[in-house]
Structure 1
Amino acid sequence: MLLLSVLGVLPALIAVVQLGRIHPDEVYQVLEPAWFRAHGYGVVAWEWKVGLRNWAVPFVAMGMLNLADVLGLTHPVAYRALIALPQAALHVWMMWAVYRFAERRAGPRGGLFSALLVGLYGPVLIFAGRTLGESLSTAFLVVAMEALDRTERPTRAGLLGGLALGLAVVARYGSAVMVLVALAWLVGARRWRTLAFTCLGGLGVALGLGALDFSTWGKPFHSFFAYVDFNVLSGEAARRFGASPASFYALPFAAGAPHWAWLALPLGLLGPRRRFSLSLPLCCGAVYLATILGTPHKEPRFLYPGLVLGALAAAPLVADFVVGRSRALLQAGLGALALGATLAAGYYYPPDDLRADQFRAIVSATRGDDVTGLLIVNEGLWGAGGSFYIGKDIPWGTCDEPHDRMFQSAMGDKRFNRAVTFEGRALTELQAAGFRIVEQVGRETVLARD
C-alpha cells in the first residue's frame, strides 16, 4: 500500500537529508566499524576490541558500502543513503505490521489511521531511520507483536514472531526482556502451538548468532555473555557511564509519550468489555519500561522501544473512537488534533542536540582532492562523524580549546588544511594560523588554508 510505503521510507529519508546523530553509537557501533571492515581504516571503539557487540548489523552496512564502491558512490551522503535502503524496507514492514495489528481491532479505516498515528509519531520519524540498536530492534519488535497477535495459522505466526523477536535481540541485546514477556504472554493465553514455533523461530536466529560470534570472536555467544556481564552482572556500565534514579526518565517520558495515547486508558476501561485486553505490545512495553527504571545506567534513547510499543497498543483504541464512533466534523477535528500531537512529540524527544549541522559541515569540508587533513573544534571524538563521514584516509582529530594538544599539533602540521568549528570557537586562532572562512553551515564554520 502506497501510504504505508511512504510512511516507512520517510524516517530513512529524514536521517539521510538531516545527517547528525542521536547518540555516538549511531556512528561508532554501526557506521564506523562497517567502514573499518570495508576500507581497512577508521575508529575502532572499545566494544569492538573486547567483543561486547556482535557483527550482524555492521556486516550488513559493510555489504552496502562494498556495493557503493562497485557503483562508484564516493560521497558520504550517497553511501549513507544506500545503507538506509535495508532499514527503510524494514520500516515499511513495521508499518504494515502496525496496520495489520490495528485493522483487527478497528477495521481498515482504523488501521490506516493507526498507521498514521504511529508512522508520523515524532520519535519514530527521528529514530526509525537511524543506525541505532534501539531503532532497528524496535522495528523487529513491532513485526513480532503483530505476528504473535494473530490467532489464525499459528505455525506461520509463531515462526515469523520467533524470527522477528530473535532479530530484535541480535540488533539490541536489551530487547531480550521483551522476548521473555512475549513467551510468558503466549503461555498465559494457552497458545501452545504458536509458542512452540516461536521458540523454534527464535532458536534458528540464536544458532546464527552463535555461529557469527564463533567466527568473529572465537566463541559462540561471546558478545551476548560479555554484554550481560558488563551491563547487568558486574555493574561496570553504571560505574563507567554513571547511574541515575528512576526520576531521570520522568521528563523525557512525559515529553515523548504521544498525548493521544492517554485517551486509550479511559476508552479501554469505559468501553465495551471486548475492547479492553492486555495486548502483547502493552505487556511488553510496560515490563520493559519497568525494567529500565530499575537499571542503574539510564539514557533517554532507552525509552524509545517502550514508547513505540505503547503507541502501538493505544493506537487502535484511539483510531476506533476517532474514525469509527464520531460524526464526520468531529472526526476531522479529533483526527487533526491527534496527528498534530503525534508529530509534536518529536520536538521534545529525543532531548539531545543532533549536531546535524556539524555532520553536514564535515561532509562539505572534506570534499575535493586537495583535502589532506581535518580538525574539528569543540567536539570530542565520540560526537564526531568518524572516517565514515570524512570518506577518505586522511589525518583528522578533535579538540575543545585552542590550548589543547591536538589543536596545537594541527596548527603546526600543514597536512591539516581544513577545519570545522562550532559557534566560532577558536576562530581567531585558526585564522592566525592561516585558515580562512569558506562556508557557514548552521552553527558551524568551515575553514581552509593553502
Structure 2
Amino acid sequence: MALVPAVVAVTQLGRIHPDEVFQALEPAYWRVHHYGVLAWEWRDGIRNWAVPGVLATFLKLASLLGITDPQGYRAMTALPQLALHVWSLWAVYRFTARRAGSVGGWLAVMLVGLYGPVIVFAGRPLAESFSTSFLLVAMEALDRREREVRAGLLGGAALGLAVVTRYPSAICVVAALLWLLASRRWRMLLFTCLGGLVVAAGLGLLDHLTWGSPFHSFIAYVRFNVLSGAAAARFGADPPSYYLKPFLLGVPLWAWGAVPLAFWAVKRKWEVSLPLTCAALYTAVLLSTAHKEDRFLYPALVLGVLAAAAPVVTFITTRPFRGLRWGLSVAALVAGLASALYFPAMDVRGDQFRAIVASTRKEGATGVLIIAEGLWGSGGYFYLGKNIPWLTCDWPQDGAFQTAMHDRRFNRVITLQDRALKELEAAGFRTVERFGRQSLLVRD
C-alpha cells in the first residue's frame, strides 16, 4: 500500500503545489549543489531545515551513487517518505485491529492506503504529507493502554515531529493533550509532554544552528501567518464556505457510513475518538483562518478517515455472508479511490515536468525556456539537474521570451499546446518530442 503513492509521484512527476519543489526539493538541492532557487521563506527564516536536511542526505547519496537523472534522484528522495508512510499505515493497522480484529485492521490499511487523497499526497514532499503521517503514528501510540511510558514518549515525539514538519499541526497537538486530559490519563499525558519536549529542544537547536536563534522559524511563522495578517494580505482570504466543496468531494462515501454506526456504538459504550477530536478542532481553526487552500484540509480528511475506518470495517467483517463481505469491501475501496479524481482539484503538470527533465538529458543543453509557466510553477534547478540559465514566460512579447530568442545559449524550449510555435520556428527551433500537451523544441 505504501508503495502506491511513492510510485505515482515519481513516475508522474509534476506537483500538486509549488511547495513540493520550493519548500522541500529545491532547498535540499541547494544544500547539496550550492545553487538553486531559494523562496522568500528561506530568506526570511520562516521555515526550518529539518525536511530539506533529510532530503539533502538522500540527494548526496544519489550523487555518490552516480545518479544524475532528475527522475532518478527524485526516487531517492522518496525513500524516507516511503518509510514514514509504511510506519503510518502500520499505525493504522494497530489502531483499527484493537477495535475490529486483525482482518478488520488489514481492511482498514487498504481503505486508508488506497484512499484517493492519500495516493495523491503521501508520495509528495509537502508539509501536509509528512505531518499527517506523523499524526497517524501519534494517534495509534496515544491510543495504547499498555506500556504507557513508551507509548507516551512515542506519541509525544510523533506529535512533535508533526509540528516540526508543519507548524499548523500544533492545533492537533493541543487537541490530543486536551483529549488525554479529559480522559484522565495522567501518566500518558506526562510522558507525551516529555516526548514532545525532546523534539522541541531539537527544533530549537536546529534553528539556532541554521538561523542564529532558537525557534526562529516557528516565531517568524506565527508572526507572519497568525499575528500580522500578512498571509491573507499576500495570498488572499476566503469565507468558511470555501472548504465546503473540497470537503464533500474529499470524504469517501464509505466514511459517511461511519456516522450511523458511531451513533449505534455510543448506545453501547461511550468512546470519544482521538483522531476525530483532532480532526474536528483542526477543521474548526481552518474555518476561522482567513487564507484557505484545499491542501490544508488533507490532515483533517485522513484523521477523519482513520476514525471512520474502525466502525465501518467492523460492520463489514461481521456480515454473515462471505459474498456480502467481499462486495462491501470492494465497494468501499472503489469509493475511496474515486475521491482522487476530485481532491485536490488541480492540474499536476506531470507532462511539463517530464518535458523539463528530458530537455536537459539531451546532449548539448545550455539554456532552457519554459513557456506558459511562471517561476513558482516550474521545477526549479532540481528538475533541470544542471546549473544552466533558464527562464519562464507566457507570451512571445514577454521580455524573457525575447531574451531567450536572441541568446544562443537558450537552445531548449518547453511550450504548452504549441504556444508561440511560429515565433520559435522563426528563431530556429524545431519540435523533437511531445509529452502530452507539452512540446520540446531544440535548436542547433
Q: Does 1:341 align with 2:335?
A: yes
Counterparts of residues 55-66 of structure 1 (less than 5 Å): 55-66=49-60
Matches of 1:365 and 1:95, distance apart in 2: 37
Indicate the residue corresponding to 2:419 in structure 1.
Answer: 425
Indicate the residue corresponding to 2:214 in structure 1.
Answer: 220
Counterparts of residues 398-417 of structure 1 (less than 5 Å): 398-417=392-411
Matches of 2:293 and 2:339, distance apart in 1: 18
Q: Does 1:127 align with 2:121?
A: yes
Counterparts of residues 45-444 of structure 1 (less than 5 Å): 45-271=39-265, 273-274=267-268, 277-444=271-438
Q: Note the C-alpha offset of 1:275.
A: 5.5
Indicate the residue corresponding to 1:14 in structure 2.
Answer: 8
Q: Is the 8 A contact 1:8 1:94 kept in 2?
A: no
Q: Is the 8 A contact 1:8 1:92 kept in 2?
A: yes
Q: Note the C-alpha offset of 1:326.
A: 4.1
Q: Is the 8 A contact 1:110 1:324 kept in 2?
A: no
Indicate the residue corresponding to 1:3 in structure 2.
Answer: none
**Amino acid in the other structure paired with 1:150:** R
Q: Is the 8 A contact 1:322 1:331 kept in 2?
A: yes
**Amino acid in the other structure paired with 2:91:** A
Matches of 2:104 and 2:55, distance apart in 1: 36
Q: Note the C-alpha offset of 1:274.
A: 4.2
Matches of 1:276 and 1:319, distance apart in 2: 19
Matches of 1:137 and 1:395, distance apart in 2: 35
**Amino acid in the other structure paired with 1:66:** K
Other structure's SS at 1:165 match? helix
Q: Is the 8 A contact 1:359 1:385 kept in 2?
A: yes
Cα deviation 1:84-108 (Å, max 9, x = unaligned): 0110000000000000000001111
Cα deviation 1:229-274 (Å, max 9, x = unaligned): 1111000000000000011111111111111101111011124634
Q: TM-score, normalised by structure 2?
A: 0.99
Cα deviation 1:289-346 (Å, max 9, x = unaligned): 1110110000000000000000000001100101123421211221111011010000
Q: CA-atom RMSD, angstroms? A: 0.9
Matches of 2:266 and 2:292, distance apart in 1: 39
Matches of 1:240 and 1:271, distance apart in 2: 46
Matches of 1:179 and 1:362, distance apart in 2: 40
Other structure's SS at 1:268 match? helix
Aligned length: 444
Cα deviation 1:386-431 (Å, max 9, x = unaligned): 0000000000010011100000000000000000001111111111
Q: Note the C-alpha offset of 1:369.
A: 3.7
Matches of 2:347 and 2:284, distance apart in 1: 27
Matches of 1:272 and 1:195, distance apart in 2: 25
**Amino acid in the other structure paired with 1:123:** P
**Amino acid in the other structure paired with 2:19:** D
**Amino acid in the other structure paired with 2:339:** A
Other structure's SS at 1:42 match? coil
Matches of 2:175 and 2:191, distance apart in 1: 16
**Amino acid in the other structure paired with 1:186:** L
After superposing the two structures, state which structure 1 stretch, 436-445 or 332-341, moved more.
332-341
Taking structure 1 as reference, are residues 193 and 444 closer, same or farther at Cα in structure 2, changes over 3 Å only?
same
Q: Which runs of 4+ in 1 moved over 4 A?
A: none
Among all aligned residue pairs of Structure 1 and Structure 2, give the percentage whose two residues are the same amino acid: 62
Other structure's SS at 1:201 match? helix
Query: What 5-or-longer segments of structure 2 have no aligned partner?
Result: none
Q: Is the 8 A contact 1:9 1:89 kept in 2?
A: no
Taking structure 1 as reference, are residues 224 and 272 closer, same or farther at Cα in structure 2, changes over 3 Å only?
closer
Cα deviation 1:29-81 (Å, max 9, x = unaligned): 00001111110111110000000000000001111111111100000011000
**Amino acid in the other structure paired with 1:27:** V
**Amino acid in the other structure paired with 1:77:** Q
Matches of 2:434 and 2:127, distance apart in 1: 32
Q: TM-score, normalised by structure 1?
A: 0.98
Other structure's SS at 1:437 match? strand
Matches of 2:50 and 2:265, distance apart in 1: 45
After superposing the two structures, state which structure 1 stretch, 329-338 or 96-105, moved more.
329-338
Other structure's SS at 1:366 match? helix
Matches of 2:133 and 2:233, distance apart in 1: 30
Other structure's SS at 2:2 match? helix
**Amino acid in the other structure paired with 1:59:** G
Other structure's SS at 2:370 match? strand
Other structure's SS at 1:179 match? helix
Q: Is the 8 A contact 1:268 1:276 kept in 2?
A: no
Cα deviation 1:192-240 (Å, max 9, x = unaligned): 1111110011000000000000011111000001001111100000000
Q: Is the 8 A contact 1:15 1:130 kept in 2?
A: yes
